[in-house]
């Protein structure tokens, strides 16, 4: 326990030291110019120092103003630097996962020897063999075998996961460890562009791109800054006609208090912190834009299998139709599943074997693999028999029959579907033999999560290839708003486009290669880490935990990002109102006594007023850093309620707090200035 506390303290100290070091580095011109608002404050710092050296103000007052302005810039740099330091700390463990990796490259699936090479020498499409106890040297797809894999180095989750060739869970990540069995992996990543490489770049902030909202707000702040620069430059001209001498130090102080320094200093940190919060939830966002858009989505499409349900559908019963013997149905179902690599196919073989069927692969048979488009699989035997299993409508099409001709089949399918199970129909030639029941289980707690999404104004749509009855039963149990049954891959794509044409922002969760087009089309595509490489490449977010309900966390992080930026912007602009009442009377009250009316805080002197306003301006940035990094707490509410709360807390609070704080600072420093 003590060791853990000590390690945490050491880590915190390291973060702090690195952040302050980078804060000082960001004072260099090439870094400072990236933030126009703080660049102006930094320039003002140099002007006040030079003015003090030239004797434009008393030495003590001039140096105090210079020091306060310098600390304002450093605090703003520190806010960004500490957010980046957290990202680099998270990246260090990822780097360890890819160090000194070697690979056993093979020429073909039959090659049992292979050649040992460095992982950095691997090329796309190379075949590599990985055995139990070895690290996977590169991203890829399993093309042969299955294995349990420890992905703790990437996900932080110690529980091993199963990855298998020919399934939607065939993708593997370089740096993860094979615990059991032997697999052959086809490399899918170029050198330096692996999943780990991209993750490291993202969490370090080196690949972070500003979001559209962040860019727009940055432009607004720049325009405001330029406007106030023009105002301040014009003041000496006006003062000349009024025979008022304005000290350049006072003008710099006025400018710093006029421009939105608080939000200008915190804006980069807010953007970086958003991606860090996503990473903390084990979500890799390929851009800050994806995180932000997540806060605005209003339609969510989800697969049923593996998303709403566990996805490990198992054959639980065979139902033969009248005139068909049970062994006949079981044998036909067994034959259609011998070459079926899916968990469902394997469970059919296992159940048939369990009920007494012998497994004997027929000679000269041609197996028909399952196809997502046809939703059918089977076998063509040497003596001309064609046996198929698949969805009801697919089998009816295969047999050229109509459901009206099979009342018993219709009843049996409805009975299976009404239980929330999936019926598969088996046919030999033109004869329908019976139904296989595949059972799946809705994940616990998912109904509550969908209810929370509904509170946020997000519509949930379940997309499944199951028949309408099964789909309706699962949809009711899961609590989704709508469902699409008997859906093909293109139906998902069409649904997303239809919602987008209505003006909605759509999120899609998927893990398979057939989900890739929909993931790419959606405004937010959340791919499962356990899924195929194609899915991960198509999505703009990857969930390392492979938990489809994680989108709830993504939405909350996105909304929190938007709320945080809006709240701190409101607070920053509200602050300026109070600072005007401190600075303006101090500048002009001696020459224009009527301006004393604006001195509502009754500050001791012009010097103490300026210093108090500048000290508050500098101190408020580090005080708001925890909020910028942690984010404003999000609660499901309407936009009106959100605006009201934002204006009450950060608007009104932003106006009142400076009055109290500046007055308190004035009471503290005024005796010091009198010395």
Say if residue 318's pLDDT is above 90: yes
- Alpha-carbon Rg for the chain, nearest whole angstrom, is 33
Q: How far is CA 606 from the centre of its chain?
A: 49
Best CA proximity match to 498, nearest among 479, 484, 486: 484
Specify the pLDDT at position 203.
57
- How sure is the predictor about 3, in pLDDT bands with cuts at 50, 70 and 90? very low
Q: Is 418 left (phi over 0), alpha (psi -120 to 50) or beta?
A: alpha
Query: What digits encode the pLDDT tens for the residues 426-440?
Result: 999 889 999 999 887
Specify the pLDDT at position 591.
61
Give dist(CA 367, CA 371) in Å, integer. 12
pTM: 0.64
Specify the pLDDT at position 184.
92
Say if residue 123's pLDDT is above 50: yes
Specify the pLDDT at position 2.
40
Say if residue 206's pLDDT is above 60: no
Say if residue 389's pLDDT is above 50: yes
Give dist(CA 546, CA 555) in Å, integer. 16
Residue 504 structure tokens: 């909605």
- DSSP per-residue codes, 281-331: TTEEES-HHHHHHHTT--EEEEEIIIIIB----EEEEEEEPTT--HHHHHH
Q: Which residues lie across from 528 on neighbouring strands? A: 543
Say if residue 673's pLDDT is above 90: no
Once rounded to an integer, what is the mean pLDDT over residues 618-625? 89
Specify the pLDDT at position 340.
77
Specify the pLDDT at position 127.
92
List C-alpha distances in Å: 381 to 21, 278, 332, 361, 367. 74, 53, 11, 10, 9
Give dist(CA 121, CA 5) in Å, integer. 41
Specify the pLDDT at position 80.
80
Query: What digits encode the pLDDT tens for the residues 246-270?
Result: 778 888 888 888 888 888 888 878 8
Which burial class, exposed, middle or buried, applies to 30 when counting CB atoms under 10 A from its CB (0-12, 13-18, 19+)?
Answer: exposed
Among the listed residues 303, 515, 523, 543, the single catalytic one is: 303
Once rounded to an integer, what is the mean pLDDT over residues 587-613? 74
Mean residue pLDDT across the chain:
81
Neighbours of 351 (CB within 10 A): 21
Once rounded to an integer, what is the mean pLDDT over residues 490-497? 86
Say if residue 597's pLDDT is above 50: yes
Specify the pLDDT at position 402.
85
- Segment (H or E) for 514: none
Specify the pLDDT at position 249.
86
More confidently predicted of 367 and 304: 367
612 φ, ψ (degrees, to nearest 5) = -65, -45
Best CA proximity match to 560, nearest among 667, 490, 636: 636
* pLDDT over 90, % of the chain: 10
Residue 378 structure tokens: 């089977």
Once rounded to an integer, what is the mean pLDDT over residues 379-388? 86
List C-alpha distances in Å: 159 to 148, 162, 179, 195, 455. 10, 10, 11, 20, 33
545 labelled catalytic: no
459 φ, ψ (degrees, to nearest 5) = -85, 130
Out of 160-164, 475-479, 660-664, least confident range: 160-164
Q: Is 197 left (phi over 0), alpha (psi -120 to 50) or beta?
A: alpha
- How sure is the predictor about 88, in pLDDT bands with cuts at 50, 70 and 90? low
- How sure is the predictor about 373, in pLDDT bands with cuts at 50, 70 and 90? low
Query: What digits encode the pLDDT tens for the residues 50-73?
Result: 999 988 878 888 898 999 999 999
Say if residue 142's pLDDT is above 70: yes
Say if residue 91's pLDDT is above 70: no
Specify the pLDDT at position 118.
83
Cβ–Cβ < 8 Å for 335, 317: no
CA atoms within 13 A on the CB side of 577: 11
Query: What digits encode the pLDDT tens for the residues 10-42?
Result: 445 545 777 788 888 888 888 888 888 889 999
Query: What digits encode the pLDDT tens for the residues 209-253?
Result: 566 777 888 888 888 889 889 988 887 887 777 677 777 888 888
- How sure is the predictor about 451, in pLDDT bands with cuts at 50, 70 and 90? confident
Angle at 390 between CA 388 and CA 394, to 5 degrees: 95
Q: Which residue has the tokens 């001696």?
A: 590
């Amino acid at each position: 326990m003590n060791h853990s506390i000590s390690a945490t303290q050491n880590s915190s100290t390291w973060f702090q030291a690195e952040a302050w070091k980078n804060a000082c580095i960001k004072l260099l011109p090439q870094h400072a110019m990236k933030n126009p608002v703080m660049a102006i404050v930094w320039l003002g710092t140099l002007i006040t120092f030079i003015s003090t050296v030239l004797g434009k103000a008393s030495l003590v007052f001039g140096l105090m103003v210079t020091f306060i302005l310098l600390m304002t810039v450093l605090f703003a740099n520190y806010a960004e630097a500490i957010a980046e330091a957290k990202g680099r700390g998270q990246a260090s463990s990822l780097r360890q996962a890819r160090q000194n990796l070697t690979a056993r490259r093979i020429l073909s699936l039959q090659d049992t020897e292979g050649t040992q090479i460095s992982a950095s020498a691997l090329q796309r499409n190379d075949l590599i063999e990985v055995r139990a106890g070895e690290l996977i040297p590169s991203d890829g797809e399993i093309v042969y075998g299955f294995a349990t894999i420890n992905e703790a180095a990437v996900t932080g989750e110690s529980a091993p996961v199963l990855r298998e060739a020919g399934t939607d869970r065939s993708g593997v990540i370089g740096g993860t460890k094979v615990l059991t069995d032997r697999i052959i992996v086809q490399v899918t990543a170029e050198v330096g562009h692996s999943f780990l490489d991209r993750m490291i770049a993202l969490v370090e902030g080196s690949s972070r791109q500003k979001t559209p909202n962040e860019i727009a707000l940055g432009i607004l702040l720049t325009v405001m800054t330029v406007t106030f620069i023009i105002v301040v430059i014009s003041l000496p001209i006006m003062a000349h006609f009024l025979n008022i001498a304005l000290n350049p130090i006072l003008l710099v102080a006025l400018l710093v208090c006029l421009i939105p320094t608080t939000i200008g200093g915190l804006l980069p940190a807010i953007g970086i912190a958003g991606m860090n919060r996503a990473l903390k939830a084990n979500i890799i966002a390929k851009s800050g834009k994806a995180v932000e858009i997540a806060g605005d989505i209003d339609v969510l499409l989800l697969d049923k299998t593996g998303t709403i349900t566990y996805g490990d559908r198992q054959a639980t019963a065979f139902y033969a139709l009248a005139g068909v013997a049970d062994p006949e149905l079981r044998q036909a179902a067994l034959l259609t599943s011998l070459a079926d690599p899916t968990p469902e196919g394997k469970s059919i073989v296992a159940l048939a074997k369990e009920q007494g069927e012998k497994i004997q692969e027929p000679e000269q048979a041609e197996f028909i693999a399952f196809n997502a488009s046809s939703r059918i699989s089977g076998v063509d035997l040497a003596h001309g028999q064609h046996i198929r299993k698949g969805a009801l409508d697919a089998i009816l099409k295969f047999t050229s029959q109509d459901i009206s001709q099979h009342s018993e089949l219709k009843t049996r399918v409805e009975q299976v579907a009404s239980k929330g199970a999936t019926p598969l129909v088996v046919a030999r030639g033109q004869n329908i033999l019976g139904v296989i029941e595949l059972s799946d289980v809705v994940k616990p707690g998912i109904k509550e999560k969908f209810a929370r999404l509904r509170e946020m104004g997000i519509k949930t749509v379940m997309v499944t290839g199951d028949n309408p009855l099964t789909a309706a039963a699962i949809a009711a149990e899961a609590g989704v708003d709508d469902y699409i049954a008997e859906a093909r891959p293109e139906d998902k794509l069409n649904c997303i486009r239809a919602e987008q044409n209505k003006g909605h922002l759509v999120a899609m969760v998927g893990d398979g290669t057939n989900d890739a087009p929909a993931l790419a089309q959606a405004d937010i595509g959340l791919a499962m880490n356990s899924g195929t490489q194609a899915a991960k490449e198509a999505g703009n977010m990857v969930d390392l935990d492979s938990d489809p309900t994680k989108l709830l966390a993504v939405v909350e992080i996105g909304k929190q990002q938007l709320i945080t930026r809006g709240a701190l912007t409101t607070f920053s602009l509200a602050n300026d109102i109070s600072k005007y009442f401190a600075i303006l009377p101090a500048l002009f009250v001696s020459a224009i006594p009527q301006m004393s009316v604006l001195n509502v805080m009754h500050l001791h002197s012009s010097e103490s007023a300026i210093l108090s306003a500048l000290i508050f301006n500098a101190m408020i940035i580090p005080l708001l850093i925890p909020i910028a990094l942690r984010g404003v707490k999000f609660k499901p509410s309407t936009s009106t309620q959100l605006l009201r709360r934002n204006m009450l807390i950060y608007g009104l609070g932003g106006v009142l707090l400076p009055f109290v704080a500046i007055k308190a600072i004035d009471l503290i420093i005024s005796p010091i200035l009198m010395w």
